[in-house]
Structure 1
Amino acid sequence: EYEIKLIATDNDGTTSSTSTILKVQPFSFAIITDLHIGWGIPDYNSEGYNDQDEGQDYYMTERLKMVVKWINENYEKQNIKFVVVDGDISDTAEYSEFLKTREILNQLEIPYIPLIGNHDIWPNTQKLTTDPDGIVGRWNTIKEKRKEGEPLGDEYFEIIFWRENAINTQKIKNLFDSFERQEEHKEHQGPPYFQNYSFSYGGTTFIALDFNARDYKELIPIGCTTIRVWDETLKWLEEKLKENQENKILVFVHQPFVFTTPLFPVSLFWVSLDREELEKITEIFNKYCNTEKVDCKIYSFAGHTHRNHISKLEIPADDVIETEALLQSPPNVSSGNFLRIIQITGNNSTEIEYNIFVSGFPKSINPFITTNKEEITVDKKVKFFVHTKNLFPEDVLSYVLKFDENYQIECNREKEKCEIKELGFHNIKEASCKIQEILCVQGVCFPNNIHPKCEVKYSAPGNYKISLKVIPKENKEYSEEISWYFKIKEKAKPFWKILFSNPNVVPLLNGEKNIDLTQEENSQNTTEWVVFLMKFSSPGTLIGSFQTHFDEATSDVNFSSLIADTNAKSGKSTLYMPEWPKEVERSKILFIPKK
């Protein structure tokens, strides 16, 4: 607290005075990242990725609402001025995913700064048969993706969060004297819809940078980096540093400024800026920060890796601060600390505290459902598999599944029993769920505790909604629920399985361990990824993968002469046939084991 005193003296030498107390407080801002709204739902909201209405609520939207509620209730006493949303706002860049996120974020009483992430670039919908995260990447999860000439997600992002978002843009104008976006500069001649921003507050300069790739091959396929160091973004960084040579620079990016080498594996495998790219950025920082006149300290805040992690690399930033995903996946890097508060305590470059977290949110469950068939028809059994990404089966109290509005099955894990509830007219011809399976390996059988597996047969075509609610043992008052729609078709093309008899190797649909394509019940009639897995290793070892056109087959696809093997000692994998079936794509993927 500071006292400001005014003393006035008149011509006769008489004085009078008045004073006031000025309270100077540090200011704060909040960071959330990797919201992944739409995760777990193969096609969020209505059909297609360009569905222009706000999507449905489920546990991910409810989790975001909890964050918004906490900020609205605490921003005044903690002096939180704004919120940074550090990319991957959507899960698959569907228009409706962005719309739903905007609807929730616009309930904030303070402005938010939305950054774009790699998941926000390429619109797509996912298959019913895959884990939302795929097997070692999302390359095998996509059902339908953006076509040539259609908008990228960055155009959706621009429209939804800037052009048609007066609620938040007005809050930004009210708080910041100068908030600039590269896209709005007349002299900007680079690619459209770049999300590069700059603003200042309380003596600190904030710069947001867009290093997201825009090409499909750099974003989705196995081994891609998702990153491109754009000249336009480097130009923006240099301009803003030149204009704002402050003591403290805070940079926001989605992918963190870290690099990976065999001798210096500081980052997770999906972050791979190379040293040369980082040195370009470092050169710009050094040009304007580390000079005789100015000695900046650079703090870089990022998401993408889904973990809380601090790197002190000095290439290019002094501190690289990664923040945990709101998605809370994968569970091995999730602690529940996904709302980070950064406090600016003074103008000095070291007067910042960034390890403040908000706790007390419910432990995430992240349930989702997959099927064993992409195309489901009347009078054909379909399997529904229940999963909880963040909760072991033994930690679940109960599952409630609805296959029709009036047909519900509740599975209690403690009782190891599933009960059917028929609430009225429905189109379910047959249904059953099991919690416990018997797993047999080389003639030895033992119980294999997994989440429920349900077999259902529908009696009429149409659009159906399936929903899943999971209640954990440790907090019976809390649950997470997810639902999505799918079609039951009248008549389908024939379904075909794979003929293959190697006891050590199994062909799996999209790599999903539940779906062995040699089994009649898992026959397919669409184009699908077949992933060969070495069965009796722990965990199973991927050998190779390729697309197979079951829709073009006239009989079961014969792989009897296939040689499939992988050897960690020699670092080799083999997929070989003297003559490949005509239904198999020419290009294939081999997974090479580490020696």
Structure 2
Amino acid sequence: PKNPVKGVKVKFDASSSRDDGEITKFEWQIASTTFYGTTTEFTFNENGEYQVTLTVTDNDGVTSSTSTTIRVEPFSFAIITDLHIGRHYQEEYEGQDYYLTERLKKVVKWINDNKDSVKCGENATCSIKFLAVLGDITENTPLVGFCKAKEILDQLQIPYVPVFGNHDVGTDKEYEQCSKWKGQDYFDQVFWSTSSIPCENASSTKNFVLLLNELNFQRDETNKDYKNFSFSFGGINFIGLDFVSREPFMKFGKGVGADAVLNEINKGWLEKKLEEFKGEPVILLTHHPLMDEFPLGPAYAFSPFELLEIEKLLDNNLILFNFGGHIHSFEEWHGKFAPANANIKYDPVASTNVLTTEALMVGSNGRGIEQIKEGEKIINGVADGKKGIVRIVKVFEKENIDPYNWETTETGDEFLAFNPSIGFGFSRQMTACVGCAIEEIPCVELKADAFCDKTKKPFIPIWSFDDGSSTTTESLTKCDFTLGTHTITLTLKDPNSDFSESISKRIEINENIIAKTINRTIDQIQKGIEFISEKAKQSFDKIRQIGKDTVYILKHSEPTLIGTITIDFDKASKDIEFSNLVADTDPTHSKTILYLPEWPSEVERLKVLFLPKR
């Protein structure tokens, strides 16, 4: 490396030297020390500039020399993860800007503005040399999601290294058409190509050329559907591993499973690179962190058996860190199992420190802002009630690396987040006039939702409609849509500043909409059993729905989530009633039951149960 850190052994190789005769002597001058041989090694133990001179002598006694300067200095690199560009749109995403693309733009600007001012001591800096993006760059979008992410990331003034995540596989629709996850191809075409890139506003190959030329980037050319790679910087070796499942099933969403998969491909790449980097410092970059801790571990990362196998591979190697993403807060009902702040330090695997970083998707949303320290060092990115999402890893020397730095601790900045979403369902209202028949009017039920701590991040909801009207209520019933396509925009505004975040939704109103609902029985009402629409974020007591929707079954005496089912309301010939449903939860014994002798055909086969904590 041209710019190694202290303690790294640097290899010098003159084997490509040429002469019209025969070279008989290779003489190296490094830091006032002389070495002989075609190759040599030297460990720089102090920061500073060093001149390295090679003099060769041929069989006629003729000599020739060349010199280079090695600058030994600390450096840093940045980590962001789980951008989820296209979230709330997924396969319908068309590349529009909204709050997640705007947040990524702000992160890119912060890195550009601060990359040369990261402090590594009283009077020293360690510039950010590259950015690692640890997967879930998109959220199950078609090609346009990858292009939008690249369009923004290409504004960085440093190279960026993308990692493949489970939400980067593409859309279910494409999988059904092609029997293949198209995201595998999009990732290559957009991020790992030196030829034409299929993105109108992000066609530059500059970043990948930088990775190849400046970071010695190498990918697994044998198994291109898997995104395993390696590169080196400053004498530190980085191994990127793709543990993403390719099975078309996910417990809580679209795409593939959330669990990590250790297979012969990623295991083989790890073994190959560990042998190549034997005795040298290594950092692992993965989407799935090397962890198996409950309750998230087996469902969202590795099984204990897989982790044991990985531990055997890492043992007796200088694997300093594993930086992962994937684990983060999320707003769905089952998000109670997720951490409020994913800047987490896990138990080591072998001697490898395992860390995750909070998602860009989550932002500094007011959740998880209780500060955690080890000694005087903040280890969860919380400073002054602000949660960090840009991790800065400072590399001082081979085994002196400080990963506990964020935008919050470096500059006191944060990336505010409301994370708005639009709850959308239907309802019916009856209207009558003197001398005319009673008519049923189809209405739209809207609810402004936010993924933030509303006590710490209060907001004003502003609804805007394409007829020019607007309102500031949190929930509303709108019955005056004309037939056709309409765009609804929800903006959440900070009452104390100019900060706001927006998201839009396109809806179709037509005469053929026949929305259905779930009617609760008297027994279910008495027992406090309620059915909640994921799409509408409201009870089916109030709304009706079309298409597929995930239904949360709750018991309100606690309240406790019992389970989820998925219903295709378009298949229902009438309103649905689960008259013989057995749904209950027992926290004392950590038991849950969700049973119906025969489920209606419109209910999909998969049901998910939630076990309460004792």
Displacement after TM superposition at 1:384 (Å): 0.7
Q: Report the Cα distance in structure 2 between the residues aligned to 1:566 and 1:497, rounded to whole angstroms.
A: 21
What's the counterpart of residue 576 of structure 2? 557
For 2:225, what is the secondary structure of its paired residue?
coil
What's the counterpart of residue 484 of structure 1? 505
What's the counterpart of residue 588 of structure 2? 569
Q: Is 1:213 aligned to 2:238, yes or no? A: no
**Distance 1:243-1:327 versus aligned 2 partners, 3 A rule:** same
Q: Report the Cα distance in structure 2 between the residues aligned to 1:459 and 1:513, rounded to whole angstroms.
A: 18
Q: Is 1:536 aligned to 2:557, yes or no? A: yes
Displacement after TM superposition at 1:484 (Å): 2.6
What's the counterpart of residue 500 of structure 1? 521
What's the counterpart of residue 213 of structure 2? 174
What's the counterpart of residue 338 of structure 2? none
**Distance 1:5-1:242 versus aligned 2 partners, 3 A rule:** closer
What's the counterpart of residue 386 of structure 1? 448
Partner of residue 324 from structure 1, selected from 353, 358, 362: 358
- Say what the alpha-carbon RMSD is for the aligned residues: 3.4
What's the counterpart of residue 88 of structure 1? 136
What's the counterpart of residue 106 of structure 1? 154
What's the counterpart of residue 516 of structure 1? 539
Partners of 2:230 and 2:237 within 8 A in 1: yes
Displacement after TM superposition at 1:333 (Å): 3.8
Alignment of 1:33-112 (within 5 A): 33-41=81-89, 44-46=92-94, 55-77=95-117, 78-112=126-160
Q: Report the Cα distance in structure 2 between the residues aligned to 1:113 and 1:386, rounded to whole angstroms.
A: 36
Partner of residue 408 from structure 1, selected from 461, 467, 470: 470
Partners of 2:360 and 2:389 within 8 A in 1: yes
**Distance 1:323-1:375 versus aligned 2 partners, 3 A rule:** farther
What's the counterpart of residue 343 of structure 2? 308
Partners of 2:251 and 2:608 within 8 A in 1: no
Q: Is 1:466 aligned to 2:488, yes or no? A: yes
TM-score by length of 1: 0.74
What's the counterpart of residue 311 of structure 2? 282
Q: Report the Cα distance in structure 1 between the residues aligned to 2:102 and 2:396, rounded to whole angstroms.
A: 32
For 2:584, what is the secondary structure of its paired residue?
strand
- Spell out, residue by residue over 1:408-450, the C-alpha distance to the aligned partner (whole angstroms, 9 max, x if none): 22x2xxxxxxxxxxxxxxxxxxxxx4xxxxxxxxxxxxxxxxx
What is the one-letter code of the residue matched to 2:311?
A: T
What is the one-letter code of the residue matched to 1:384?
A: L
Displacement after TM superposition at 1:82 (Å): 1.1
Q: Report the Cα distance in structure 2 between the residues aligned to 1:485 and 1:559, rounded to whole angstroms.
A: 32
What is the one-letter code of the residue matched to 1:39?
A: R
Q: Is 1:352 aligned to 2:387, yes or no? A: no
**Distance 1:94-1:500 versus aligned 2 partners, 3 A rule:** farther
- Spell out, residue by residue over 1:82-115, the C-alpha distance to the aligned partner (whole angstroms, 9 max, x if none): 1111111112343222111000001112111100
Partner of residue 456 from structure 1, selected from 452, 461, 478: 478
**Distance 1:179-1:400 versus aligned 2 partners, 3 A rule:** same
Displacement after TM superposition at 1:180 (Å): 0.6
Partners of 1:256 and 1:271 within 8 A in 2: no
Partners of 2:444 and 2:478 within 8 A in 1: yes
What's the counterpart of residue 189 of structure 2? 159
Q: Report the Cα distance in structure 2 between the residues aligned to 1:352 and 1:555, rounded to whole angstroms.
A: 63
Q: Report the Cα distance in structure 2 between the residues aligned to 1:545 and 1:492, rounded to whole angstroms.
A: 25
What's the counterpart of residue 364 of structure 1? 417
Partners of 2:534 and 2:549 within 8 A in 1: no
Q: Report the Cα distance in structure 1 between the residues aligned to 2:599 and 2:321, rounded to whole angstroms.
A: 54
Q: Is 1:204 aligned to 2:236, yes or no? A: yes
For 2:394, what is the secondary structure of its paired residue?
strand
Q: Report the Cα distance in structure 1 between the residues aligned to 2:568 and 2:99, rounded to whole angstroms.
A: 36
What is the one-letter code of the residue matched to 2:587?
A: A
The runs of 5 or more residues in structure 1 that have no matched partner are 8-19, 47-54, 125-143, 412-432, 434-451
Partners of 1:368 and 1:387 within 8 A in 2: yes
Displacement after TM superposition at 1:529 (Å): 3.9
Partner of residue 267 from structure 2, selected from 234, 237, 243: 234
**Distance 1:217-1:581 versus aligned 2 partners, 3 A rule:** closer
Displacement after TM superposition at 1:578 (Å): 5.8
What is the one-letter code of the residue matched to 2:483?
A: P
Partners of 2:262 and 2:306 within 8 A in 1: yes
TM-score by length of 2: 0.72
Q: Is 1:343 aligned to 2:394, yes or no? A: yes
Partners of 2:530 and 2:555 within 8 A in 1: no
Q: Report the Cα distance in structure 2 between the residues aligned to 1:248 and 1:389, rounded to whole angstroms.
A: 39
Deviates more, 1:106-115 or 1:584-593: 584-593
Query: What fraction of aligned residue pairs are identical, expressed as a percent?
Result: 31
**Distance 1:309-1:504 versus aligned 2 partners, 3 A rule:** same
Partners of 1:511 and 1:530 within 8 A in 2: yes
Q: Report the Cα distance in structure 1 between the residues aligned to 2:326 and 2:206, rounded to whole angstroms.
A: 27
Higher relative contact order, structure no. (Cα contacts within 8 Å, ≥ 6 residues apart): 1
For 1:216, what is the secondary structure of its paired residue?
coil
What's the counterpart of residue 36 of structure 2? none
Q: Report the Cα distance in structure 2 between the residues aligned to 1:234 and 1:578, rounded to whole angstroms.
A: 44
Q: Report the Cα distance in structure 1 between the residues aligned to 2:457 and 2:51, rounded to whole angstroms.
A: 64
Q: Report the Cα distance in structure 2 between the residues aligned to 1:218 and 1:585, rounded to whole angstroms.
A: 14
**Distance 1:400-1:220 versus aligned 2 partners, 3 A rule:** closer
What's the counterpart of residue 414 of structure 1? none
Partners of 2:427 and 2:443 within 8 A in 1: no
Q: Report the Cα distance in structure 2 between the residues aligned to 1:513 and 1:550, rounded to whole angstroms.
A: 14
